[in-house]
Chains A and B, each alone.
Chain A
Amino acid sequence: MDMSQYKDLFISEVREHIQGMNEAIVALEGAPEDRERIDYLFRMAHSIKGMSASMGYGGMAGLAHKMEDLMDRVRKGAIGFASGVADLLLEGSDFLSHMLNDVDAGGDGQRDIDDLVSRLAGYAPPPAAEPARTDGSETGPSDGETPLPGRLQQPAVSDKPDSVHNVRVKTEVLDTLVNITGELLTHKNRMVSMSRELGSPALTEAISDLSRLVRELQNEVLKVRLMPFGSVADRLPRTVRDLAKKSGKEVVFRVSGKEIELDRGILEELPDPLLHLLRNAVDHGLEAPADRVAAGKNPAGTISLEARREKDRFLVTISDDGRGMDPCLITAAAVGKGLIAPAEAALLSPQESLMLICLPGFSTAAAVTDVSGRGVGMDAVRASVQAIGGGLAIESAPGRGSRVTLSLPLTISIIQVLLAVCGTMVVAVPVTRVVRTVDLTRDAVISRGKRKLFLLGEEEIPLMSLHRFLGIRFHPIKGPSVPAVVVEMKGHLVGLVVDRFLGQQDVFVKPLGRPLNRMRGFSGAAVLGDGQVIFILDPANLV
């Protein structure tokens, strides 16, 4: 596994641990019975050992291990925290610091530590009780030890001062920064609105400069919240391995796109949906080895987790080469459960039939395994993804496997939207969801029975009134043209007719709290410059 992407974080954390150790060692010399500090020191050494080992820095791990062992003896009361112990630990801490500097500089962190390791392992307290050092003064070699060559070769701590390249910041602080930046954006929009009314060129210019600065701040603040997809994906191979073992299946698990960065707010919402989908893929998607062989397949099934960026969307696809799903059987099951009427079922496309597994109440493990091989918790998966402004699409072919694609925004905090007016309402459509806007002439609108449509190139695009989706009365537009925004809904392009467009704007997205958080078709709300609260449309989930 390539761990290089975590090197900066490793260095930052270990540096912090070493600093903490130094402080604790010195404090313990003054209060050698301080149990809390003894435990803390042990934990620090243990953490450094584990982190170094996982990053492949064996020398650091080995040294930290011996320091941990020495602290364990102190912890268990076998020896006291005497000055000899403090000397050894500080010496070890200095060595670790130099090794870490070496790693930071691109080296492998290796040093000649054999002598120190043997002294750590062989430490024995002097026959008489040692007085604990309390004044912090230099004492030179303690316990009558003779300096050994290895010790003399130890580079001085100060030969290369530590550079602070990174600081670790609490995530709450980052969230507060994003919120303040978002509020700043709202107030900037308010000033833009006021400036238009006042018509002052000087004010307009000042606000223009302010806008530029707010945008720069916004970009930088959002950047610090980005994390690689790998921070979630790296935990999954173990999960899949355990699931495969439990279900007696052989699984080859492939992951790609771990380096793609996205907002922490999105990443935090991903583990549960991914776990659901992987569990479904292993438990219900893949056949047992014998069944696969009988079907002419490799006994080991393949599950792939692929992350990629498309425009401003983050797409995660979980696919398997298992038994797949039969749309007809799914439709029949949904009708049987009373989830849809037979007449309604007859009108569904195969893709729409597959989406039925996301209906609450559709899936129970037994039923789904019998009919499709998928479906456990799919309503929960879809709800989780929708809650962060995402969507879900399912493709499947019986006998060939299934593919579930989650489409997610890169950030959920500050987004660019297209503002549209419908009756008394202003709504925002994220520009990432806008395929295009059109201003159709009357004769470009084609009537086909009750349906209206227009041609986008060769493709017939149905026109639907956004008013209807918003639950407001639609008054036919009397002007010479029909404005519409073309978006994708359930895999099809649709032209949503509006009264007029107000233009584009950056807005700070406020999540909808209870009770409106479950309202379909809207991913949040925002406050405009004039104080107006608007809702942000999520076209994929509007119907």
Chain B
Amino acid sequence: MNSRGRRFLIFTLRGKQYSVNAGDLSEVMETAATFPIPRAPRCYLGVMNFHGVPTPVLDLASFLFGDPPTGPGNLLVLDHRFGSLALRIDTVVRIVSDIRDLRIQPDEGAFVRHSILFHNERIPVLALDMLVDELEEEARTGRPGNGGIGSDKTGRE
């Protein structure tokens, strides 16, 4: 599958590289002031005022691996078609686009459908729709799903 015309933002999470489709993001920003969310699991850092829209901030590593948040990191604000959500990640590495050695290949795993092959490294592309579906279900039931907080939801070693 060719990646021509698509851009991916590569970021790190606990020392590993992940990516998201850059077109699925609304903004990449520094961390912002947050306010507590009632009944929220610990993986939520709070809710921020993003241009007047209450936007919960999810610590992605805490959600995926159960790790406690570390350091300031960056926020990836998702495009509004996914809802209102920002993901706290460790660092933004770079944006790759439309280059010859970038290939997309099918992959499997929780919240992952594809990976990009970049400089011979396989980098999982987070399927944000799956992620938001899971979070919505957890908000509805009030219970963590897919293994629960503290477990590795990616199913990876």
Contact = CB atoms under 8 A, between A and B. Distances in A.
A465 to B, nearest CB: 13
B35 interface: yes
Contacts of A9: none
A517 B40 contact: no
Residue among B37, B83, B137 with max Cβ neighbours from chain A (10 Å):
B37
A512 interface: yes
Nearest to B44: A516
A315 B33 CA distance: 40
Contact of B36 (A472, A518, A531): A472
A535 B139 contact: no
A527 B49 contact: yes
B119 interface: no
A519 B47 contact: no
A535 B37 contact: yes
Given A514-B82, A533-B47, A469 B38 contact: yes
Given A520-B142, A533-B49, A512 B36 contact: no
Contacts of A521: 38-39
Given A519-B140, A533-B48, A533-B54, A513 B38 contact: no
Contacts of B139: 515-519
Contacts of B80: 513
Q: How large is the interface on A (under 10, 10 to 19, 20 to 34, 35 or more residues)?
A: 20 to 34
A360 to B, nearest CB: 9
What is the predominant secondary structure among interface residues of chain B facing chain A? mixed
B136 A514 contact: yes
A525 interface: yes
B38 A512 contact: no
B52 interface: yes
A522 B38 contact: yes
A532 to B, nearest CB: 6
B56 interface: yes
A522 B40 CA distance: 12
B123 interface: no
A296 interface: no
B112 interface: no
A527 to B, nearest CB: 5
A534 interface: yes
Contacts of B48: 533
Interface residues of B, number: 28
B17 interface: no
A424 interface: yes
Interface string B69-109: 00000000000101111000000000000000000000000
A178 to B, nearest CB: 14
B1 interface: no
Contacts of B28: none
B21 to A, nearest CB: 17
A443 B60 CA distance: 48
A246 B108 CA distance: 48
Contact of A533 (B35, B40, B82, B136): B35
Contacts of A535: 37-38, 47
A518 B35 CA distance: 19
A186 interface: yes
A372 B154 CA distance: 44
A427 interface: yes
A513 B47 contact: no
A515 B38 contact: no
Among all A-B residue pairs, the 4 with the closest Cβ atoms? A514-B83, A513-B84, A515-B135, A518-B140
Given A472-B36, A513-B85, A516-B56, 7 more contacts: A183-B52, A425-B35, A510-B54, A517-B136, A518-B140, A519-B38, A533-B35
Interface of B: 33, 35-40, 47-49, 52-56, 80, 82-85, 132, 135-140, 142
30 contacts: A183-B52, A425-B35, A425-B36, A469-B38, A469-B39, A470-B38, A471-B40, A472-B38, A510-B54, A513-B53, A513-B83, A513-B84, A513-B85, A514-B82, A514-B84, A514-B135, A517-B136, A517-B139, A518-B137, A518-B140, A520-B140, A520-B142, A521-B39, A522-B38, A525-B47, A526-B54, A527-B49, A535-B37, A535-B38, A535-B47
